[in-house]
A = this chain, B = another copy of it.
Amino acid sequence: MPKNGKEEPRPKSGQPRNGDPVSLKDLALHLGLSPTTLSLVLNDSPQAVSIPAETKKRIFDGARELNYRPNYLARSLRVQKTNTIGVIVPELSDGYSAMVLNGVESALSTAEYFYLTASHLHREDLLEKLPRVLIERQVEGIIAVDTPIRFTPTLPIVNVSGHEEIEGVTNVVLNHQHAAELGIGHLYNLGHRRIAAIKGQDFSSDTVIRWQTMNDAAKKRGISLDPALTVQLQGDSPSPEIGYTAMKSLLASGERFTAVLAFNDISAIGAIRALEEMGLRVPADVSVLGFDDIYAAAFHNPALTTIRQPLFEMGNLAARTLLARLSGESNGDVPKTVGVEPTIIVRQSTSRVSQT
């Protein structure tokens, strides 16, 4: 027969059994001690040295018995620290963001940080609103992925694939010049001179720099990327569809080319489909170079030659950089950029230009 008169079965919807959560005060009452003592002991504070081991044990046992769980909200409010950051991505299902997030999480989890994710879907209103609501939720910093910064930073920001120089923002960037050298160099060395290109969408952070560095690398070799051989991805679907559509429209123009520089692997895969529907063989008739090296790249048919961008690493680095800024171990200085290196993975979608 239970004797505590407090127990009114509060019928709260959806919740399975087990009454309301027990607070520190509840536990203190139950043990006949003050909340202060419990807090000191449970957090192993230096002031707890004077508490005898027996009392400590009583406290730990009581906590386990009553299934005490500290309320992180209350704690965070008091200590002014949430161990939470915000992550803003364009969209989750595009593979790119997921890989970066994976790296972010890996770095955060070892630091006991959590993160709130928000997708802006390229909508201007969300680009303005999401940082605000994340800040209201007291995130300590924000990692943006392939996302333009449309607000004035009031806390540490790290932007993966960001290229704008903004006070308070650290950009994690690929060495695009090197990437272009690898890509153009590879095609050039295989004898390709008329190279078609699929540019990224305007909303993609990398579109401009990629286009520029690719052009530079081409010029350096005495060739150029002909505007007549260039198409741009349209729409924000994460499917190969848009690469397919882009290549279709290029093919419709009747221009001739021996290689295609795709903005990413996804669009390369779409482009290959379009080429093959036209009766063109990859790589025999046209070489296709991807970018990113997503999981599917190695197993596509033909396996994609691609420029590998270390997405996990970039996310990981972004998180580590942010944590360093938060912990103050970077003593106050905000790196403008941190860089990562691309590599070229040569597979079956590119080959020497045919001799005919």
Contact = CB atoms under 8 A, between A and B. Distances in A.
A13 interface: yes
Contact of A156 (B14, B18, B135): B14
Given A95-B95, A102-B93, A105-B117, A334 B16 contact: yes
Interface stretch (A179-187, A188-196, A269-277): A269-277
Nearest to A274: B299
Which of A102, A156, A270 is most buried by chain B, counting CB atoms within 10 A of its CB? A102
Which of A74, A93, A155, A270 is most buried by chain B, counting CB atoms within 10 A of its CB? A93
Interface stretch (A27-35, A199-207, A324-332): A324-332
A18 B154 contact: yes
Contacts of A17: 154, 167-168
Contact of A14 (B77, B138, B332): B332
A291 interface: no
A261 B301 CA distance: 20
A136 B15 contact: no
Interface string A295-313: 1101111100000000010
Given A14-B334, A299-B269, A332-B14, A137 B239 contact: no
Contacts of A298: 239-241
Interface string A87-114: 0000111010111011001000100001
Given A73-B73, A269-B299, 7 more contacts: A13-B325, A14-B328, A69-B135, A101-B117, A105-B119, A241-B298, A300-B300
A132 interface: yes
Contacts of A117: 101, 105, 115, 117
A16 B331 contact: no
A98 B92 contact: yes
Contacts of A135: 69
A72 B136 contact: yes
A36 interface: no
A39 B101 CA distance: 37
Contacts of A168: 15-17
Contacts of A332: 11, 13-14
A295 B155 CA distance: 36
Contacts of A99: 93
A70 interface: yes
Interface string A316-351: 000000000110101110100000000000000000
A68 to B, nearest CB: 10
Interface in A45-59: none
Given A98-B95, A115-B116, A238-B295, A71 B16 contact: no
B328 A13 contact: yes
